[in-house]
Structure 1
Amino acid sequence: METSLARDLMSDEEWAFFERFIFAVRAPNGRKPTNHRLVLDGIFWIARTGAPWRDLPAEFGKWSSVYRQFRRWTLAGLWEEIMDALNQSGAVPSALQMIDSTVIRAHHQAAGAKRGTPRQGFGRSRGGFTTKIHLLVNAHGLPMRTEITPGQTSDYLGFDLVMVDNLPRPSVLLADRGYDADKIRDGMEARNVLPVIPMRKSRKKRIGVDRSLYRLRNLVERCFNKLKNARRVATRYDKTAESFLGFIDITSIRLWLRHLST
């Protein structure tokens, strides 16, 4: 008896959430709509297993059709729209936020996309290509915004990318000493945000930090661990920055939905 490879499929409640966003971005072309729920489950399977698109089980449909739909939704900004809706829903407190970054190893076959490797978020190191994920999370350790840059990019640049104006403004921001810069501190204080950031050893003017509050920063590290349970996030296989960031956003959305369902 053949065993199904379809595991961890969406619940009816989860599909009901995605459905309204998917049909909002679907272009009316007169064609009969495909089974979007099955397609979305196929995308989730690729994200979770890290398998090549051509290895997608036939029960999800033709792999090329699922891939093309993934690219359509990604380029249409579907995942960013869903993340914005979750952040603005007020379902989770956002007064306390944390920021951090992690470097992801890229598979050697991921390079080679048009416009060059730096513009696709690849950086060179002794071990090969790398990509850095910059992540902002809320008090429940849920992703609020993610961006990617080449692996050697400083955290200062990543800070500016994820701290955007369309997100709920924090009252307190936790970060490690990699973000200890006068520009960041002054910018946060100008927005009435308390920066809880340890000092670099080279800083001459000493600034105190609330250590009991700073311990909560482990939430962003735990969030990275949860994101990396998706093998398509733990290792970069995608040639384009849009596709890789799309898988990060997809995994982030599912973390949100699982949290809200508990």
Structure 2
Amino acid sequence: MGRGDLSKDEWARLEPHLPAYGCRGGRWKDHCKVINGIYFRERAGVPWRDLPARFGKWKTIYERHRRWSADGTWEKILTAVQADADAEDRVDWSQISVDSTICRAHQHASGARKTAPERGKKGAPPARHSSDEGLGRSRGGLTTKIHLASEGERRPLGLLVTPGQTHDGTVFEAVVEEIRVPRQGGGHPRTRPDALSADKAYSCRRIRSYLRRRQIPHSILEKTDQIRHRLARGSAGGRPPAFDRASYKRRNEVERTINALKNFRAVATRFDKRAYVFHGTVTVAAIRLWLWLRP
């Protein structure tokens, strides 16, 4: 086993959720070697062509990553390992935190052809195709934003990739609705945490109404101008929204989740041209966080 490769315990938890090996033409002879090659590229951030020869042909590794990003295989694997953790009572539902992070996009991430969406298995478009390719332009250059919801043990429950200029509040509902952990004993998947915390960027009436409608207790810090406007209206301004300062202190958990994801250099800096491939790259990093067992 090389440095950074999947351990025996990690492989034992991951293997049951991988697609079956093909028969014709010896397709997919060794998932383990290929996935270790994908993780090497995630950690080191090297070009696909520079992968060490011990992982096999770089084209094989890249194509499997691209295909599994296109047809949603990586997302299915992430959901499966989350379900395993939930069955073992290793998911902290007591509170989740929502936040986002900016990733600088390398110059190699730009220049994708403005054509019809690439076609994946059976002619279907990629599961996470985006016409803007998730790239935003600012004075600092090209950027991409990762939005995620993290559980108490600092692992992602749901994530989205958008252009860097996207405001956090506009995709809050979409991020929370990404939380969908199946129950192995049957029944509806779990989609609602016991509580939620978020920073000032998510302080608006629409988000608070959405959380009340779903009966999710929340601690979202109110913006200074919102406090001023409410007080200026007197009794017509209504009461201040409920805020639990002790719960809000746990918001650092999502910051630490972001830090863990950005330990993968291919996540901290985007090299993938296509948005759905970069979403797959982030999902692969999230899978690794779920495979690690904490004492």
- Same fold per superposition (TM over 0.5): yes
The separation in 2 between residues aligned to 1:96 and 1:107, in whole angstroms, is 35
Partner of 2:249: 215
Partner of 1:143: 156
Cα shift at 1:160: 2.1
Residue 199 of structure 1 aligns to a residue in which SS? Answer: coil
In the TM superposition, structure 1's runs of 4+ consecutive aligned residues that sit over 3 Å from their partners are 86-89, 115-118
TM-score, with structure 2 as normaliser: 0.81
Match of 2:180 among 166, 170, 173: 166
Partner of 2:77: 82
Q: In the alignment, is residue 112 of structure 1 matched against residue 111 of structure 2? A: yes
Q: Does structure 1 conserve the Cα–Cα contact (< 8 Å) formed by 2:145 and 2:163?
A: yes
Bigger radius of gyration, 1 or 2?
Answer: 2
Per-residue CA shift, 1:35-87, capped at 9, x if unaligned? 21100000000000000001100111111111111112222212111222233
Partner of 2:95: 96
Partner of 1:31: 25
Residue 160 of structure 1 aligns to a residue in which SS? Answer: helix
Partner of 1:14: 10
User: Which deviates more, 30-39 or 134-143?
Assistant: 30-39
TM-score, with structure 1 as normaliser: 0.91
Amino acid at match of 1:230: F
The separation in 2 between residues aligned to 1:21 and 1:128, in whole angstroms, is 38
Match of 2:281 among 238, 241, 247: 247
Amino acid at match of 1:13: D
User: Which deviates more, 80-89 or 90-99?
Assistant: 80-89
Higher RCO (CA-CA < 8 Å; seq separation 6+) = 2
The separation in 1 between residues aligned to 2:133 and 2:160, in whole angstroms, is 12
Q: In the alignment, is residue 194 of structure 1 matched against residue 217 of structure 2? A: yes
The separation in 2 between residues aligned to 1:81 and 1:175, in whole angstroms, is 27
User: Which deviates more, 28-37 or 215-224?
Assistant: 28-37
Match of 1:122 among 131, 135, 144: 135
Q: In the alignment, is residue 182 of structure 1 matched against residue 205 of structure 2? A: yes
Q: 1:136 to 1:47 in 2, by over 3 A?
A: same
User: Which deviates more, 12-21 or 235-244?
Assistant: 12-21
Unaligned 5+ runs, structure 2: 116-129, 182-190, 231-236
Root-mean-square deviation (CA), in Å? 1.9
Unaligned 5+ runs, structure 1: none
User: Which deviates more, 200-209 or 135-144?
Assistant: 200-209
Partner of 1:232: 266
Q: Does structure 2 conserve the Cα–Cα contact (< 8 Å) formed by 1:236 and 1:244?
A: yes
